[in-house]
Structure 1
């Protein structure tokens, strides 16, 4: 199991380091990182989201509602709680609240999940990855983009901000795909390749760009970075574990949901931060620290729960 953890998390660290190294060599700078982020946000990510959702079977969604429900509670409920605390209790900006919520409640299931979940739950891993990806892509990503767009255009009406955000491919592509799937539509693997050729580059580009941002902004393990990382890797999984125990959740469903929730933060928060020039250093540092900490936290869960 240690090998599975290392083999799934090490590529994240290596790709981050390569981006950092490229920045150090001055092969890529902040301007090039911005161009890479634009490519991700406008092309590779929308293609990846649309193609990934369109290959999900409608029956698989409805046949595993329990797991989907717990992932929804953790990812959407956790997102809302962080936004409310950050915005109204700590009086942080809307943009910063959205980014911190994404960093804490958004696990990198599509990127880390195949190796870790595939080795722990061979027959259910594809479903877990699909469900986690669906929730992130049709709820967290669009809501975050809308909040960031609204915050960056304070002098524009709410309606205009909302319309502008909805026009972004990263918002309407996953929502459209989800509607099509619910109506019974699905892409065959052959047709899905039309979206995966470019879409599959999303994870690598996002991490490489995050590495460049880490160099240009200089990683800093500040208090917010530690809070984000500990909340993502320890607090959220612990809270969900207690809730699922109290609800007498079957062991298999509890273990699957808990492991999916415990996956470290996704690089998308760093991409959003760079795209909207908000908390770039904090998000890149959170991505790095969360990934390192997750080796310990996920290993602890596997041992304690005998997964």
Structure 2
């Protein structure tokens, strides 16, 4: 068990330390993290999700009960965080969107996948793939809409809410991190095969998403100390504890098999995705709290992930 968690965590810590050291040695500037975040959000992560969707068996995508449990767990914690952010912390809508993403977007690809691979085997990647589809098609577009609504509200005083939602939905769909993964889902369902000559460069770009995100986050941490306050405590609690509890309850209700139940609980207990911090950087909103929550949540995630593995094994 300790070796399993060490194997999962060490690559994250190593690359983040590399980014931090780069800032410390003045090889890069802290401001460069914003540029790296743009590359991740606009290119690397969308292509990574596209390849994941394209390689997913269409029959597995159509597992309604499994997908429903993941939607309930992921979006349930998202809306819970949205309520806390809006009515408890009194944030504006743009900040609420980023905080909700930090609380609900698990690091499935770079933290959860290695654990599931060792615990379950190749079948464990199903949860990662389906979960990434849900975040790509539902969570990320919703976050982009809320961010754009926040930007628009700060510029325009009186505009009809329905028109505002439709305008921002159109803008969100045009975002590469939304339409590229959705295209992968549609191609997978249609059984379309992409030529290998095109797949190779897409995979090359997609593979840098995890490493580049971690490097940028480490660079962002340079010169700052993560702050543990009420907001950080709330974010980590929702992500590391409440989300897996929602997943487990939904899984029991829908009668998932033991293997599928293991997947949803492990995914729920996975710390916040580095990509959530990239969104904060890109939007220049909630940066300090987001980075602190991700760093502290990742450290605590060793314990919470271990507890969940013990309980479901």
TM-score between both structures, scaled by the size of structure 1: 0.90
Matched, 1:227 2:227: no
Name the counterpart of 2:72: 73
Structure 2 residue aligned with 1:97: 96
Summarize the alignment of residues 20-99 of structure 1 with structure 2, pairs less than 5 Å apart.
20-62=20-62, 64-88=63-87, 90-99=89-98
Work out whether 1:176 is the aligned partner of 2:183.
yes
Q: What is the alpha-carbon distance in structure 2 between the residues aligned to residue 298 and residue 281 of structure 1? A: 24
Give the equivalent residue in structure 1 for 2:14.
14
Match of 2:297 in 1: 290
The number of residues matched between the two structures is 305
Shift of residue 163 of structure 1? 3.2
User: What is the DSSP-based 3-state SS (H/G/I as helix, E as strand, rest coil) of the residue aligned with 2:271?
Assistant: coil
Q: Give 1:216 deviation, angstroms.
A: 4.4
The RMSD of aligned alpha carbons is 2.2
1:243 CA displacement: 4.3
From the superposition, tell whether residues 303 and 245 of structure 1 become closer, same or farther in structure 2 (CA, over 3 Å): same
Gaps of 5+ in 1: none
C-alpha separation in 2, matches of 1:284 and 1:2 = 26
Q: Take 2:183 and 2:205, find their aligned partners in 1: how far apart are those partners? A: 19
Report the equivalent of 2:123.
124
Structure 1 residue 133, shift from structure 2 partner? 1.4
Residues 91 and 223 (structure 1 numbering): CA distance in 2 closer, same or farther, change over 3 Å? Answer: closer
Cα distance change, pair 45–5 in 1 and its aligned pair in 2 (3 A): same
**1:227, 1:196 → 2: CA distance?**
36
TM-score by length of 2: 0.89
Distance 2:193 2:224 in 1: 42
Partners of 2:3 and 2:104 in 1: CA distance: 26
Deviations 1:112-143 (A, max 9, x none): 23310011111421212211111122222222
Describe the superposition over 1:78-115 as per-residue Cα deviations: whole angstroms up to 9, x where unpaired. 21222233224543211221112111211111112331
Q: What is the distance in 1 between the residues matched to 2:18 and 2:68?
A: 37
Q: Aligned pair in 2 of structure 1 residues 124, 188: CA closer, same or farther (>3 Å)?
A: farther
Change (3 A) 1:125 1:188: farther
| Unmatched 5+ stretches in structure 2 | none
Distance in 2 (CA, whole Å) between partners of 1:80 and 1:28 is: 37
Range moving further from structure 2, 147-156 or 103-112: 147-156
Larger CA deviation: 162-171 vs 245-254 = 245-254
Distance 1:271 1:284 in 2: 9
